[in-house]
Amino acid sequence: MLIIGLGRSLKVTYRIRHSCFPNNFKIFYSTIVDQNNTLNNNNNNSNDIALQKGPEKPRINPVGIQHLSNGLQNQLFPNSNDKETNSKINSSKIQLVKLAHEYLKNNDLLGKKCSINDPINFKLPTLQGKNLSEHFYRLGLNDSKNYLDLINNLLKLESNKTLIGKKKTIKQKKSASQIEKDKLNFEKFPTLPKNWVFKSGWTRYEDGKDPEPVPYPLEDELVFDVETMYEISKFPTLATALTTKAWYCWVSPFLTKESNTPEYHLIPLNTQEREKIIVGHNVSYDRARIKEEYNINMSKAFFMDTMSLHIAVNGMCSRQRSTWIKYNKNINSLDSNAVENLKNIEKFKENLKDSELKSLINNDILIEDQLNDNDTESSLKDDPWLKTSSLNSLAHVANLHCGIKLEKSIRDDFATLDPNTVREDFQKLTNYCANDVIATFEIFKKIYPDFKKIIPHPVNFSALRHINQSFLPTTRTWDNYIENTEGIYQNSANEINEKLYELCNETVKLKDDPSKSWESDPC
């Protein structure tokens, strides 16, 4: 479940799909099949299976566990009665039963009575393919095909060359023909605007054209980031978006003094009308500030979270965090001598005329020796994963995957209680927001192919869309629930503080006790 509420002014909402229940499971897949006439059923026999009538005896396997009913068995495994298949199963059945007995015995389960129920029969949606594996593969692919096309369009954008901040150069050995081929395949990255228009709503910035107001971004694939004056309101202050054709900027009417309050201003993206890919880092935060996401009707947007992709590919568990933080601290606290040595090496290489000596000096190992201290080297020997993982923030993930150094201190300007501060620094703060968008795009371009290699099944990809679309409508009693739970928490906190206060007073009084009982206290 995903919280997308912005406080009491907008009700917190969720959507829950109970696909784990048989009836809803049936409805879910029937809906997909009905809505997608392009799917062809290669197994027409399974659609005409007559459910068994009359009493049916339970089917029990050799270790006492009940099988599916004949009706469900024939629908889910239409080839189960095939003679060739059964002969292969029978030839290895004895060994399989033996292994099952050993496993159950090792877990103290062998011989324990299992519940036996009357066989259950009901009509399932038609199997989309020859078997369950093909069925789910085709459903997942059909559900996500349009979004995969949008992602491919976004990935065709070339990497940005004007990133505000420092970016490491990554050496890749490519042939001249491959380089030329890449140039043909990639589209030009939209130029970052030099001046942002201070006007409420969306403004579009396309290369070679004047900025123009638009109701929402016109393209269907975009990288998106939102900024808020979080000390004043949870509603958005400004946002930037990158598409395959242009840059966009959204400004709150509160910032332009067209509204007296920062509340109730949400960002339109037209996600109810068109299928869209919206890439963001911790994108649920950005989604909570999109206007259409508070519509009770299902959104057509696919919110792709680069933070989730990072966690799946290079994430760490909570137990590893402290080790990584210590390692990162050592990296960041390199002494000035090491940095100075690197500068001297670079100057020395620039003055060299001998090409062979220059190539010899240009050695990555020599550079690493200047950057590594004993603690860091020791940490990497014990935990080599430290170099391939990071915390989940945009700055850490951008540094790990792309070598991008983001300047995040500017974000503190949004902590102001005075909106005039943001108005005066509008250009700088909008550039900061756009900078985060560029970093998010670079992360996505780098990590998405890795994610697809590790988790290639289309059902996994399709599930990301449905997970990030969840919301649950609530009634006005939600406010009462919040007030009651907050009251209970505050009462409990006060009781704990009072008890601690009493214990402190009792302990202080012991100093006047003539028996000096604390001297014999083992604690």
| Residues 82-112: tens digit of each pLDDT | 555 555 566 678 888 889 999 999 998 888 8
pLDDT at 27: 34
Q: What is the mean pLDDT of residues 159-180?
A: 50
pLDDT at 359 over 80: no
Dump the DSSP string for 128-168.
SSSSHHHHHHHHHHHHHHHHHHHHHHHHTBPPPS--SSEEP
- Phi and psi at 222, nearest 5°, equal -150, 155
pLDDT at 464: 93
pLDDT at 473: 80
pLDDT at 416: 94
Decide which of 292 and 113 is more confident: 292
CA-to-CA distance for 448 and 90, rounded, in angstroms? Answer: 44
pLDDT at 370 over 50: yes
pLDDT at 91: 65
214-218, 322-326, 349-353, 484-488: range with lowest mean pLDDT: 349-353
Q: What is the dihedral of CA 481, 486, 487, 492, to 10 degrees?
A: 130
Tell how strand 221-228 and strand 301-305 pair up.
unpaired
**pLDDT of 504-517, one tens digit each?**
998 888 888 787 77
**pLDDT of 16-53, one tens digit each?**
333 333 333 333 333 343 434 334 444 444 444 444 45
pLDDT at 513: 79
pLDDT at 6: 43
Residue 150 near residue 447, CB atoms below 8 Å = no
pLDDT at 303 over 70: yes
- Phi and psi at 57, nearest 5°, equal -80, 140
SS (H, E, C) 441-454: HHHHHHHHHHHHHH
pLDDT at 16: 31
Question: Count of residues for the chain?
Answer: 523
pLDDT at 363: 61
pLDDT at 18: 34
pLDDT at 374 over 60: no
pLDDT at 343: 64
Q: Name the nearest CA neighbour of 217 among 411, 437, 466.
A: 437
Residue 230 exposure: Cα atoms within 13 Å on the Cβ side: 8
Q: What amino acid occupies position 498?
A: E
Residue 305 near residue 282, CB atoms below 8 Å = yes
CA-to-CA distance for 458 and 463, rounded, in angstroms? Answer: 8
DSSP state of 65: P
Q: What is the mean pLDDT of residues 420-440?
A: 97
Q: What is the mean pLDDT of residues 439-453?
A: 96
Q: What is the mean pLDDT of residues 491-497?
A: 96
pLDDT at 280 over 50: yes
pLDDT above 70: percentage of residues in the chain: 73
Q: How confident is the model at residue 342 (pLDDT cuts 50, 70, 90)?
A: low
Decide which of 78 and 197 is more confident: 197
Looking at mean pLDDT, say which of 64-73, 174-183, 191-200 comes out highest: 191-200
Q: What is the mean pLDDT of residues 412-421?
A: 95
Residue 222 near residue 250, CB atoms below 8 Å = no
Residue identified by tokens 């409508």 is 473
pLDDT at 8: 32
In angstroms, the Cα distances linking 256 to 198, 248, 327 are 7, 17, 45
pLDDT at 9: 35
Q: What is the mean pLDDT of residues 419-434?
A: 96
CA angle 36, 126, 84 (to 5 degrees): 130
CA-to-CA distance for 158 and 161, rounded, in angstroms? Answer: 9
Q: How confident is the model at residue 201 (pLDDT cuts 50, 70, 90)?
A: very high
Decide which of 443 and 384 is more confident: 443
**pLDDT of 218-264, one tens digit each?**
999 999 999 999 999 999 999 999 999 999 999 999 999 999 999 99
Decide which of 14 and 116 is more confident: 116
CA-to-CA distance for 227 and 405, rounded, in angstroms? Answer: 19
CA-to-CA distance for 207 and 190, rounded, in angstroms? Answer: 7
pLDDT at 408 over 60: yes
Tokens of 285: 């935060």
CA-to-CA distance for 368 and 177, rounded, in angstroms? Answer: 32
Helix (H, G, I), strand (E, B) or coil at 350: helix
Residue 39 near residue 126, CB atoms below 8 Å = no
Q: Is 352 exposed, middle or buried (0-12, 13-18, 19+ CB in 10 A)?
A: middle
Average pLDDT, the chain: 81
Q: Which residues contact 286 (CB under 8 A, 6 or more apart)?
A: 224, 225, 226, 239, 278, 280
pLDDT at 79: 78
Tell how strand 246-251 and strand 212-214 pair up.
unpaired
